[in-house]
Structure 1
């Protein structure tokens, strides 16, 4: 590891320049902005780390795949990342252009710095460091997804066509921030995500609320009432069948969750809150291991114009985060049944890009090796998180390929992924290269 640390220190400026160059390539999967160029850039990036690379067509944005053989008997590791990013959003909210990397106060700013170009680049630079200072200790296949930010709708089918090309043993991924405490982190899973929209229609056009009030049904009131039947004031999700299949935390997962540090007032204050959501009596970390039902936005499609009318349409955009054992198809069926029972003329729209929850148990074979390697690289014990609160398409690998999956998030807690001024602390970027390399070094000793 000391050899790797010296290498990382020697090439700090070069690595930062490569990250800045990558940030300068827009890759917004939702709109298509820059995606073709970004796929080509990613395909050219992998050979710099000793990988044979190609693009795999998916029916959407391509998957970029790189492969390198390791010593006989060593584990074969799949490393997952994604080269697509979120749209920039309002440009006025950025302190510097989103697709021009800027360094301020030890951080690089730009869309994709933390989510996910900086993190998968750290993994690629770890491969390069190992190759240039010795040899790869493991066989490696790198997967760079071009559709993660739109739910990876084609990943599972693309992987099905590739599974015969490698005999993989485990998956590593680096995405999202470290634990809220800022300590080094190993994550064993993610929650799933089901995005949906509920629409309620009234008259074909808005009606005068004086002439038609009390006569014409108001879609906004109907929608609000419907939503009140779906989640109680105490926070209980009331949709029957939505939790079918949910698997409780195992004793080892419970122990890992209980061991996580938390400063609740500080965590809330960081985002400007003075209270947690209902219900009372549920711990901060426990909440991130439970299903949720969130209303993302409510609208009458009036573009914010306040008029004394009965709106023609009311829309709620929502998401449900699922946990181990829940399935997106079961959730959608339960939602349809609930609408049919409570407000039959309400419409449910599911845009696609669903993500299933992924779960790897702490007693899985590589957990201790990976946790010890991350701890050694950081110089202090890494925290073991049963599942991150957010979502990634890791189930395509854990369930689809039957592989244990381990997350090594590298970004700072305040990376502002998906928001303006997304950033990556450069000290964490460089430390991430060392940590990723040390994980592979330790895995290579298992041959």
Structure 2
């Protein structure tokens, strides 16, 4: 019997206990934004590391602590760091939950509760994969470090500080976010970064009657619209000098992987009620998700939603930019500031949160091993995604440590992460446990 079959049997035999362990972890609140349950969750997470045969420790960061577990492997075996996060999003509107967010409920082949898919269920599958390896083979095939971040849902502001306190691994494996939107298993090589900011324009000292003052008093809303027009043209080109100067072109392996990804663009657009994609017209669907973007998230005149016939005195645009390999947060912020100094020095620029992009090339030596291990454990050939459209703090490893990073998601497409009724399909959880073990075995075979 091969390892995958042995781990599947291990999961089947222990399923009541494993699901009870999952439910107990979900029932422990750990909301980093408010602090709800964080101290208790840290203690719970340390115990999970200990139960998985790891030596646990708390790594202080100045914020919510990181939880670290380590275990030796055979001599000269690869050192794998597994990343996850134990904090979760706030529950959100309680009336929209079918069952309470921190009272996990099993129904229709899923477990519902805050943190099921994002990220407790996924990193628990990784830990159980290590536990299965110990029970079945007597040890781990690789040297392992597990790092559970306590601040991912607030942007991981102190993750790099924690990472600097660890010994450098050979590679990083993480399980977060959903599988490919087609429902296929996937291996993810990178994530886009993000910067958020506000543009604020002020007019008169107060709101004015548009009949008495229209055409006389400066209108900050029109000023803001015109400023935004200097930053992106109707064809979708970002006009901020230096914004994308550092973008690294896609490698041949990345282009090949993108070309293999399945997508029915008309069906995707119909699903969101859109008639077409955003300009420009040239790039394909997945090429767009590997490039930098500039989005206006909201426009407001701070009128409380009353929409009176007035000349407003304040106009605000909230924006974000998604970043790709090569772009640096500080350089992008500097480019925006320089653009505003040239075109609109009267506009206030308020920088917000930021996260750097991370990029691992398909040509990296560990890629085939991770793909092979994931295919064996998940029971299907995974799609290779050069980058997620969204953002995760993986640059804390790829940039700080200079090591390749691989995402192997174990959550269903409709996991509703960050939303009411967050859930995890139990079959993905079971398969995730198996894949966590087989990926470790495949990595070890390359390292020999």
8 Å CA contact retained: 1:244, 1:330: no
Distance 1:327 1:399 in 2: 11
> Where does residue 408 of structure 2 map in the other structure?
408
- Cα pair 1:193 1:357 within 8 Å, conserved: yes
Q: Does 1:63 align with 2:93?
A: no
Deviation (angstroms), 1:338: 1.5
CA deviations over 1:47-94 (Å, ceiling 9, x no partner): 111111121111111111111111111111000111112222222332
- 1:46 corresponds to: 49
Report the CA distance between 1:206 and its aligned residue.
2.0
Gap change, CA 1:7 and 1:271, over 3 Å in 2 = farther
The aligned residue for residue 173 of structure 1 is: 174
1:110 aligns with 2:121: no
Structure 1 residues 200 and 411: alpha-carbon distance in aligned structure 2, compared to 1, 3 A threshold: same
How far apart are the structure 1 equivalents of 2:27 and 2:206?
A: 45
**Whole-Å Cα distance in 1 between the matches of residues 307 and 437 of structure 2?**
57
Shift of 1:157: 2.1
1:281 is matched with: 282
State the secondary structure of the residue aligned to 2:69.
strand
Aligned residues, how many?
443
Aligned counterparts of 1:10 and 1:271: Cα–Cα separation in 2: 42
Matches within 5 A, 1:12-411: 12-134=15-137, 135-160=139-164, 162-163=165-166, 166-352=167-353, 354-411=354-411
1:214/1:99 CA distance change after superposition, 3 Å = farther
Q: Which runs of 5+ in 1 are unaligned?
A: none
> For 1:374, what is the secondary structure of its paired residue?
helix
Q: State the alpha-carbon separation in 1 of the partners of residues 441 and 46 from structure 2.
A: 25
Distance in 2 between residues matched to 1:199 and 1:42, nearest whole Å = 42
TM-superposed deviation, 1:442 = 1.6
Residue 418 of structure 1 aligns with which residue? 418
* Post-superposition CA distance 1:120-179 (Å, at most 9, x none): 11111111111122211111101111111221111112222x13xx34111000111111
Give 1:273 shift: 3.7
Q: How far did 1:33 drift? A: 2.4
* Structure-2 residue corresponding to 1:429: 429
Q: TM-score, normalised by structure 2?
A: 0.95
Query: Is contact 2:187–2:409 with CA below 8 Å preserved after alignment?
Result: yes
Per the alignment, do residues 309 and 40 of structure 1 end up closer, same or farther by CA in structure 2, a change over 3 Å counting?
A: farther
C-alpha separation in 1, matches of 2:206 and 2:10: 66
1:274 shift after superposition = 4.1
Residues 103 and 266 of structure 1: is their aligned pair in 2 closer, same or farther, counting only changes over 3 Å?
farther
Q: Distance in 1 between matches of 2:230 and 2:34?
A: 35
State the SS of the aligned residue for 1:47.
helix
SS at match of 2:56: strand
Q: Compute the displacement of 1:270 (Å).
A: 3.9
Contact kept, 8 Å, 1:169 with 1:403, in 2: the verdict is yes
Aligned partner of residue 149 in structure 1, secondary structure: helix
In structure 2, the residue corresponding to 1:330 is in which secondary structure? helix
Aligned to 2:372, the other structure's residue is in SS state: helix
Normalised by the size of structure 1, how large is the TM-score? 0.95
Rounded to whole Å, the distance in 1 between the matches of 2:104 and 2:306 is: 37
C-alpha distance in 2 between matches for 1:299 and 1:426: 43
Distance 1:308 1:270 in 2: 37
CA contact (8 A) 1:180 1:267 kept: no
* CA distance 1:5–1:347, change in 2 (3 Å): same
Name the CA distance, whole Å, in 2 between partners of 1:99 and 1:301. 35
Q: Within 2, Cα distance between the matches of 1:114 and 1:33?
A: 19
User: SS where residue 355 of structure 2 aligns?
Assistant: coil
2:14 is aligned, of 7, 11, 30, to: 11
Distance in 1 (alpha carbons) for counterparts of 2:267 and 2:296:
25
Compared CA separation, residues 192 and 125, structure 1 to 2 (3 A): same
How large is the RMSD of aligned CA atoms in angstroms? 1.6
In 2, the alpha carbon distance for the partners of 1:25 and 1:199 equals 40
Offset from partner CA, 1:283-325 (integer Å, 9 cap, x none): 1111111111112222223332232222232222111111110
> Does the Cα contact within 8 Å between 2:197 and 2:350 map onto a contact in 1?
yes
Q: How far does residue 272 in structure 1 lie from its aligned partner after superposition?
A: 4.1
1:392: Cα distance to partner?
Answer: 0.9
Could you tell me whether the CA contact under 8 Å between 2:168 and 2:401 is conserved in 1? no
Kept in 1, the 8 Å contact 2:378–2:432? The answer is no
Q: Which runs of 5+ in 2 are unaligned?
A: none
Once residues 266 and 103 of structure 1 are traced to their aligned partners in structure 2, the CA distance between those partners, rounded to angstroms, is 32
